[in-house]
Amino acid sequence: MLPRFAPSGPHGDDIEQLPPDLRLLRLRLIPLRRVETDLRHRLSDSTVPVTPELSVRSLAQLSHSPNPASLLRETAEAQDVITSLREDIRHLWLDERVRTALRQKGIRVEEGAGFFLNDLDRIAISSYTPSDDDVLRARLRTMGVQEWRIPFPPAPGQHPTFSQPWALYDVGGARTQRRAWLPFFDGVNAIIFLAPLSPFDTPLPEDPSVTHLGDTLALWHAITSTPLLARTTLIVFLNKCDLLKCKLKSGVRWTDWVRGYKGEEEVGAVVRWMRDRFREIARTKSPPAAKGRTIYVYPTSVTDTKATAVTLKSVRDGILREHLKMAEFV
Ligand SMILES: Nc1nc2c(ncn2[C@@H]2O[C@H](COP(=O)(O)OP(=O)(O)OP(=O)(O)O)[C@@H](O)[C@H]2O)c(=O)[nH]1
Ligand SMILES: [Mg+2]
């Protein structure tokens, strides 16, 4: 899937100012706009407001679509157009003038969700089938609350009771989705709080007066101070560390966006500082009933499945330990 370069393309005078070869390239690539509109219409959830970022419905939702056969046909047609334009797409993406213009406008498509332009030879071909990794990198927006049953084998030496499947509830993070969370707070053993670090300089679409990171910290504040969650194990994933690393390397400065930071512009230092911020908020804002609650904080890049599997094992052990502590077994 191709990311959008900007909310709208160049118009009028802007197009006139393009060098002739880029103007020609633009003309040749125009069919992609149609492909994008069609795919967006087909794949997106019509109940979700249209945003520049494309989110897709889950397979379960898609299989309820009125005409799955026509969806497949249209997807194949879109694939044909993309395939036929592969070299033009490549030219555009590799063109230094285009890259400079993107940089000047502060647009970093390569850091966005589902970025595939470096993989054209693998993806813009008629036989392309998405890999697990591609699916992981696509944006699948959670609507409402989705429940998953996950078989978790017991850790060595653990009682088989703990081998029963765990119920995992994935809740949508957008502000409009948060009111659906409350009923799930009651009796929940643990919350994994995903805090993306890389959007420290990007405004929250729902409220551009705050950054994503500012919103994340406010949300963490709210979660830690909720009395209903006083006995809930809280696990924080300081996520998107890979993207944070790229962003810091490209020269965007954490210090310019996050008040109070005086450390180095380097991912390790930023992660340590954020870990302390999360712990500090939990320490000062938790209700008295949460006294002694353990807060686990992990730096993660969850698209790295191998490393995440290791983290999840440790999360599982932590949850079991807390569970046992609670039951006064230890
Ligand atoms: N590179 C990188 N991409 C990530 C990481 N974590 C998530 N993403 C990507 O970020 C996008 C958003 O992920 P989602 O799982 O849809 O985000 P979410 O937080 O669940 O969003 P909602 O469902 O709206 O609450 C996807 O394209 C993911 O592949 C990460 O650690 N590194
Ligand atoms: Mg989600």
Give me 254's structure tokens: 């954490």
Q: Which residues of the chain have pLDDT under 50?
A: 1-9, 330
The amino acid at 90: R
Give me 125's structure tokens: 């071909």
Nearest ligand to the C-alpha atom of residue 174: 1
Q: What is the pLDDT at residue 45?
A: 61
Name every protein residue with a CB atom under 6 angstroms from any ligand 1 atom: 113-114, 136-142, 172-174, 194, 239-240, 242-243, 301-303
CATH class belonging to 145-326: alpha beta
ipTM: 0.95
Nearest ligand to the C-alpha atom of residue 204: 1
Q: What is the pLDDT at residue 228?
A: 93
Give me 234's structure tokens: 């809280």
Kindly report, as residue ranges, where domains of CATH 3.40.50.300 are found in the chain.
145-326
**What length does the chain have?**
330
Hey, which of 302, 306, 311, 312 would you mutate to test ligand 1's pocket, going by the most ligand atoms within 8 Å of its Cβ?
Answer: 302
What's the CA gap between 43 and 56, in Å, rounded?
Answer: 5
Strand partners, 170: 146
Q: What is the pLDDT at residue 163?
A: 67
| 137 assigned ligand-binding residue | yes
Q: What is the pLDDT at residue 80?
A: 95
Q: What is the pLDDT at residue 330?
A: 45
| 300 assigned ligand-binding residue | no
Q: What is the pLDDT at residue 31?
A: 96
| 190 assigned ligand-binding residue | no
Tell me, in angstroms, the distance from the centre of ligand 1 to residue 195's CA. Answer: 10
Hey, which of 61, 136, 140 would you mutate to test ligand 1's pocket, going by the most ligand atoms within 8 Å of its Cβ?
Answer: 140
Say which DSSP state 258 is in.
Answer: S
